[in-house]
Structure 1
Amino acid sequence: MEKLDTNTSQDQGLCQLSEKYKQVYLSLTYSIIFILGLPLNGTVLWLSWRQTKRWSCVTIYLVNLMVADLLYVLTLPFLIITYSLDDRWPFGELLCKLVRFLFYANLYGSILLLTYISVHRFLGACHPLRSLPYRTCRHAWLGTGATWALVILQLLPTLAFSHTGYINSQMVCYDTTNPENFDRYFAYGVVLTLSGFVFPTLVILVCYSLMVRSLTKPEENHMRTGNAARAKSIRTILLVCGLFTLCFVPFHVTRSFYLTIRFLLSQDCQLFRAASVAHKIWRPLVSVSSCLNPVLYFLLGGNNRVRLLQKLRQNKVGKHPAGGEEEIPRGEQIWILPRRSLGKMSPNTTSNNLFEHR
């Protein structure tokens, strides 16, 4: 896919790059991601479909995340075959555009959905009662709809820049664009990085900074949120920050460095070679998020999804013994307490129940 880079350098008489490592490294990496990502994301979507309880806001965000991952994972066989054929693209112009578009749609859609999850957890941890009218399923669906609309608008230029071409009589699918349009693509890439990665990352950092400050206050200040809510907030901070550190940050750093070196037409062959190799090494690793996002589905959902998986394994989903108790959806539970206990209930009990069912 990156024959363009070698060819451009040769035409300018700058560097001779050997990229034979891609044939093994990229084919193997994408194969592993496909083997793991397809069943993991498919299983999560199936479990969500079989879930008897009403979806929570976070579940709505995570299911949309799985859909984006699954659409991208289904394009990986085309990349695996192409790299195995030493960058030759035999699938035509339309699939070239589709594969490139779905890669970036998955990338920036994932970042925006993780941003929504972070804001949701921030509101629940720091403003549990005031934010209740906004932490609803209706707002979650509106947020996901706005996410996909924004991602599509951001990535429409990708459909124009990405196309096939011929290098050394061999058809390739340009990862960026052809050399004649690279200057315009560089400007578009800067805008895309700022709007799709830098700004959402700043929002996440602000939310988590405020959450950490709130969670480190004395224990009596946390009575309004409850221990379960605090645990979910801490878990969200660790998981999302870990995902960004492993997948998204290194990719955008190496990609920005690589595009800048190409745009400046650096005469330093060693620098250009390092930028090219770093970009190609981290590019498939950003797709590891497609395998890690299903893990978020279970870790951010607490024990409910673990119990659901156990029930499905035992083939007991939707089946209740005669005379057995029917499961009451969370948020619709009826608490029957002795009359003596009602006077002992603190206002925090009600607020905690309100917070937990969201």
Structure 2
Amino acid sequence: KKLMFLPTLISTSEMEPNSTFNNNNNDNNNNKNENCTVENFKREFYPVIYLIIFVGGTLGNGLSIYVFLQPYKKTTSVNVFMLNLAISDLLFISTLPFRVDYYLRGSNWIFGDLACRIMSYSLYVNMYSSIYFLTVLSVVRFLATVHPFRLLHISSIRSAWILCGIIWIFMMASPTVLLKNGSEQKGNVTLCLELNVSKITELQIMNYVALVMGFLLPFFTLSICYLMIIRALLKVEVPEAGLRVSHRKALTTIIIALIIFLLCFLPYHTLRTLHLVSWKVGICKEGLHKAVTVTLALAAANSCLNPLLYYFAGENFKDRLRAALRKHSQKAKMKCNFSVCVWLKNETR
């Protein structure tokens, strides 16, 4: 039952308190909270960052999905995990224009209650599915390198799709509670993506569950894989070129995944926890609120960094990309030649 609340703490959404959500009847506390808003900062920061993530993520993940779906002589379980990760990122990126519009309007939601519910839901489905896909991808790389023959069944295509299906079901089911928290009318504006401080105690409890199950467990798993692969590389000399490539790709996968964890997910989970634990009505911590804003943007930016993993650690990704570009170039050349022939024919007439 607790797992169903895994990313619910995340109904804190942007995790930035908005004074309009504070129902405290004390006028002094209300005044303090009003002075503690970071609306202007969000209005300037989020639209620019989200647009950059939208453009970069759409190009990177769109191209990656196109490359993964191209027919190729060899398909591996690694590509299956990477394809699902790219799809997750692209689905989330498609929601960013709505967020940009919300903040440009000064935190006024115009797209209806259902769309508001989907916004927070999509953010955390993407965040935690990315974390688990990166973790499983690194573990599979590690096991296939250290125990290549004893664990062949784990790295099969069928097993990869089954595992991806389990991850999707779990990640889409866990934050369904977020769908209960929709938009809220306050005066002449409609709020969305804001922290509901009336449930702060419940959010604090759920934060610890999400922190352990959604971040710390995958992060420690990645760290152990990194240490074990380093130990394997130092312990045994690998004479065969093929095995050396396999070890290098496994190490590259784990290192890039760790960088994404440290850069995108660690700051957000740390400051989110600190923000919830230190929250007190009427006490302004504007610096912390702005820091949480920045770390949330970093968490969303993982969608732009994942394509680097595909390029540098993907199985045959570079060959697939070259083949796709060559195919596209040939089609464009044939189209151009056809146009020239039609033009010459018309001119001859």
Q: What are the within-5 Å matches in structure 2 for residues 1-358 of structure 1?
A: 4-7=17-20, 11=24, 13=29, 14-15=32-33, 16-19=35-38, 20-160=40-180, 162-176=181-195, 178-219=196-237, 226-262=243-279, 265=280, 268-269=283-284, 272-301=285-314, 304-315=316-327
SS at match of 1:171: strand
Distance 1:166 1:183 in 2: 23
Per the alignment, residue 346 of structure 2 pairs with none
> What 5-or-longer segments of structure 2 have no aligned partner?
1-13, 332-349
| Amino acid paired to 1:145 | G
TM-score by length of 1: 0.80
Larger RCO (alpha carbons 8 Å, 6+ apart): 2
- Give, in angstroms, the shift of residue 2 of structure 1: 6.9
| 8 Å Cα contact 1:154-1:192 kept in structure 2 | no
| 8 Å Cα contact 1:3-1:172 kept in structure 2 | no
| 8 Å Cα contact 1:261-1:275 kept in structure 2 | no
Cα-Cα RMSD: 2.4
Distance 2:297 2:252 in 1: 26
Q: Greater share of helix residues, 1 or 2?
A: 2
How many residues align? The count is 311
Deviates more, 1:82-91 or 1:192-201: 192-201
- Give, in angstroms, the shift of residue 45 of structure 1: 1.0
Distance 2:60 2:328 in 1: 21
- Give, in angstroms, the shift of residue 224 of structure 1: 11
Per the alignment, residue 347 of structure 1 pairs with none
TM-score by length of 2: 0.82
Distance 2:305 2:215 in 1: 19
Percent identical among aligned pairs is 27
- Give, in angstroms, the shift of residue 190 of structure 1: 2.3
| 8 Å Cα contact 2:128-2:214 kept in structure 1 | yes
| 8 Å Cα contact 1:298-1:306 kept in structure 2 | yes
| 8 Å Cα contact 1:128-1:225 kept in structure 2 | no
> What 5-or-longer segments of structure 1 have no aligned partner?
320-358
- Give, in angstroms, the shift of residue 108 of structure 1: 0.1
- Give, in angstroms, the shift of residue 4 of structure 1: 4.4
| 8 Å Cα contact 2:265-2:299 kept in structure 1 | yes
